[in-house]
Amino acid sequence: MTFRDLPVFRDLRSFARFLEQGKSLARISEPVSLVHEMTEIHRRVLAAGGPALWFDKATSHRGAASMPVIANLFGTPERVAAGFGVRLSRIRELGELLAALREPAPVDGLKDAMNRWPMLRAALTTRPQNVARPECQSQSWLGGDVDLGNLPIQTCWPGEPAPLITWPLVITRPPDSDAEETARMNLGVYRMQALGKDRAILRWLAHRGGAAHHRAWSRRGEDMPVAVAIGADPATILSAVLPLPETISELRFSGVLRGERPRVAQALTIPMLVPADAEIILEGFVSATETAPEGPYGDHTGYYNCVESFPVMRITAITMRRDPIYLTTFTGRPPDEPSVIGAVLNDLALPTMRRQIPEIADVWLPPEACSYRMAIVSIRKSYPGQARRVMMGLWGMLPQFNYTKTMIVVDEDIDVRNWTDVAWALATRMDPSRDLAILSGTPIDYLDFASPDPGLGGKLGIDATNKIGAETRREWGKTLSMSEEVQRRVDALWPCIAARFAKGLA
């Protein structure tokens, strides 16, 4: 059971072919340096809404790379949706499925059960298929032959200390699980600083699944086996960034998105399963005790992050396809790929929010505000104090709102994605002496150096709704609007008037 509009993309290269056929991928044959130049080209193309980029001649101080490099894969919302297998207009349907997984609605009769259950069952029970001779192990470098320098790893911004793997799909499992137990595997995207030929730093936030698994292994005094896929199929990559319930495996859910069972293979040097159709796999162990200073690197805030220590991974094997493709990106002040993906995830999360707080009409996390640090919420308001209730509900409901430090609540007639509308609501429906809610000492993104303490800061809620009942002692203003009868008459006249106007301009 699948809701796909598009063909199955079993691997990165099939997705690249699809994009190229649709003129959404451009090949660059000129030599381009992995140090800064690739980032600048990518940045300009993404800002213009341009295609995915296939670099035939990536270069570094070692000379020409031995494999092509793809960047800007998810540089437009349409390509993100295509990675999920659907048209952009159907993203909300996927959001409804995610909401149902978190909190299944009561079944309304046999017909409703027949319509909904196959997809839910698929999401819960999709089992990977084991592959004996996977493409991702066509070539292998083991032990002393491991050398990260053979990969075309970018250095994105000036002042960064070392090349950075920016699209690693990091696969972990808890210590009390079996290597074949895919239901308990975690897939996450955590950037990796190259430390040398066979060592890298894994940077993850404490609340992420990989970090939780590492703490469990460390309590046992054991190094954690880790696999890193570079260039997996788009469904697997995007599953790793979805806000799935903890009981749903990202790997298994990728099969629902792709429309076929995930394909996995046993790693060569660690007790882990890896995506069989990935371009490149790194195998190794993350130390229970060893850390190293990571950074500074350009971050999604548009600033360099502070230098902090994170666990070190010792790489025991690098395996790859016979003709591998390296997938990369950059992170910086929006727009960048994470902000584009974040805008689509915004629409995916909306059905879940509405199930928890039904009066929500729309939510927008502006990419310009680093995707999650500001939220604009429209509600169907019916009682005094409702805007503040919604603020508190959102701050406490979903983990991503923990770090949202400014929340603006407006009425349903305001388009939350239109700054002109939002500015008008702020200017005409909000009074600072009454409509600001300020919280202190709340969890905040520790990368936000504007907060007074790392990981602890304030939140601002702004009620820019029309005031009703006990919220105001004054007669509230009435919004200007033209009568429907006049609008209909002008609609009938408009084609002729518009044609004359256009003629006059010519």
Domain ranges of the chain: 12-327, 357-471
The amino acid at residue 305 is N
Task: Specify the range with the lowest mean pLDDT, choosing from 120-124, 311-315, 502-506.
Answer: 120-124
Closest listed residue to residue 12, CA positions, set 61, 50, 67: 67
Q: Dig out the tokens for 206 from the structure.
A: 């404490």
Is pLDDT of 110 > 50?
Answer: no
Q: Please compute the mean of the pLDDT values over residues 238-256 and round it to a whole number.
A: 86
Would you say residue 1 has pLDDT above 50? no
DSSP string, 221-251: T-PEEEEEEES--HHHHHHTTS---TTS-HH
Looking at every residue in the chain, the average pLDDT score rounds to: 92
Sole residue written with tokens 């086996």: 225
Short-list 144, 168, 142, 141, CA closest to 154:
168
CA distance 310 to 268: 26
Selected residue with higher pLDDT from 243 and 354? 354
Which of 3.40.1670.10, 3.30.70.100, 3.40.50.300, 1.20.120.640 is the CATH number of 357-471? 3.40.1670.10
Mean pLDDT across 120-132: 74
List, for residues 379-420, the tens digit of each pLDDT value.
999 999 999 999 999 998 766 688 899 999 999 999 999 999
The model's pLDDT over 427-459, given as tens digits with 9 standing for 90+, comes to 999 999 999 999 999 988 877 888 999 889 999
Q: Return the structure tokens found at 55.
A: 């670099």
Is residue 104 very low, low, confident or very high in pLDDT (cuts 50, 70, 90)? low
d(CA 495, CA 502): 10
Q: What is the pLDDT of residues 311-366, one digit of tens each?
A: 999 999 999 999 999 999 999 999 999 999 999 999 988 998 998 899 999 999 99
The Cα 183–Cα 61 span in angstroms is 42
Beta carbons within 10 angstroms of residue 457's beta carbon: 20
Does the pLDDT value for residue 266 go beyond 60?
yes
The secondary element (H helix, E strand) that includes residue 16 is helix 12-21
Query: Looking at per-residue confidence, does 496 or 33 come out higher?
Result: 33
| Helix intervals (H) in 268-328 | none
Write out the two tokens for 504.
């006059």
Instruction: Judge whether 129 and 261 are in contact, CB under 8 Å.
Output: yes
Q: What per-residue confidence (pLDDT) applies to 112?
A: 58
The DSSP element (H or E) to which 407 belongs, if any, is strand 406-411
Q: Which of 92-101, 107-116, 318-327 has the highest mean pLDDT?
A: 318-327
Reply yes or no on whether the pLDDT at 87 is more than 70: yes
Q: State residue 231's pLDDT score.
A: 98
3-state secondary structure 50-103: CCEEEECCEEECCEECCCCEEECCCCCHHHHHHHHCCCHHHHHHHHHHHHHHHC
**The domain 12-327: what is its CATH number?**
2.30.110.10
Q: Evaluate whether 298 touches 331 at the Cβ level (below 8 Å).
A: yes
Is 299 one of the annotated active-site residues of the chain?
yes
Q: What is the pLDDT of residues 277-297, one digit of tens each?
A: 999 999 999 999 999 999 999
Would you place residue 502 in the very low, low, confident or very high pLDDT band (cuts 50, 70, 90)? confident
- Integer Rg of the chain from CA: 25
For residue 115, is pLDDT > 70?
no
Residue 86 neighbours by CB under 8 Å, 6+ apart: 3, 4, 5, 6, 93, 94
Tell me: pLDDT of 504 over 70: no
- Domain 12-327 shares a fold with domain 357-471: no
CA 204 – CA 193 distance, rounded (Å): 12
Backbone angles phi, psi at 119, to 5 degrees: -70, -40
pLDDT score at 482: 94
- What is the pLDDT averaged over residues 19-47? 98
pLDDT of residue 117: 53
Q: Which two tokens stand for residue 357?
A: 């707080």
| pLDDT value, residue 114 | 47
The pLDDT assigned to 193 comes to 98
Residue 441 CB contacts under 8 Å (≥ 6 apart), including other chains: 456, 458
Q: Is the pLDDT of residue 460 over 90?
A: yes
Residue 220: how many CB atoms within 10 A of its CB?
A: 11
Of the listed ranges 18-22, 109-113, 252-256, the one predicted with least confidence: 109-113
CA torsion, points 287, 291, 294, 300, in degrees to nearest 10? Answer: 60
153 close to 224: Cβ distance less than 8 angstroms: no
Q: How far apart are CA 74 and CA 71, in angstroms?
A: 8
At position 276, the amino acid (one-letter code) is A
Residues 130-177: tens digit of each pLDDT: 999 999 999 999 999 999 999 999 999 999 999 999 999 999 999 999
Residue 421 has pLDDT above 80, yes or no: yes
Q: CA 67 to CA 75: how far, in whole Å?
A: 22
Which of 198, 299, 336, 463 is flagged as catalytic? 299
pLDDT at 44 (0 to 100)? 98
pLDDT at 123 over 70: no
Q: Is the pLDDT of residue 105 over 60?
A: no
Tell me, what's the pLDDT at 333? 94
Digit-coded pLDDT (tens) for 171-211: 999 999 999 999 899 999 999 999 999 999 999 988 789 99
The 10 Å CB-count burial string (b at 16+, else e) for 473-487 is: eeeeeeeeeeeeeee
* pLDDT at position 109: 52
